[in-house]
Amino acid sequence: MDSRRNTYLPSSPHNGLRAWYAFGFWLNLVLIAAGVISTGAALVLERAAPTAPGVGLLIGGGALAVLAWRRAGLALRRVEGVDRAMEIAGSTYNPRVGHHAANAA
């Protein structure tokens, strides 16, 4: 009876993991977009090549950076929401075992 899962938890702890993974993915995309922006800036400033590819990289990298930054912010808010819901449900939940501790009040 002690190992029975309680059903009053508002969300699964796996939702928190998914939100962390999504946040990490979008944050990695922000870093990649920053690299694309710097490559575009180098192409435009060096003037060794035509300026059209450099401007394209600047615009595309900027758009990708803005999109990824906003999505990373949304994923971080989801992480905070899951953490807050887990705090409200109680701190006796053990995600490694999958149930509440046996001697929890």
Residue ranges in the chain modelled with pLDDT below 50: 9
Is residue 100 one of the residues assigned to a domain? no
Is residue 27 one of the residues assigned to a domain? yes
Q: Where is 100: in which H helix or E strand?
A: strand 99-100
Is residue 1 one of the residues assigned to a domain? no
Is residue 98 one of the residues assigned to a domain? no
Is residue 101 one of the residues assigned to a domain? no
Is residue 105 one of the residues assigned to a domain? no
Q: Look up the domain containing 72 and give its range.
A: 13-92
The residue type at 48: A
The residue type at 38: S
End-to-end CA distance of the chain: 14
Is residue 8 one of the residues assigned to a domain? no
pLDDT, tens digit, for every residue of 38-67?
999 999 998 877 889 999 999 999 999 999
The pTM of this model reads 0.65
Number of independent structural domains in the chain:
1
**C-alpha to C-alpha distance for 44 and 58, rounded to whole angstroms:** 9
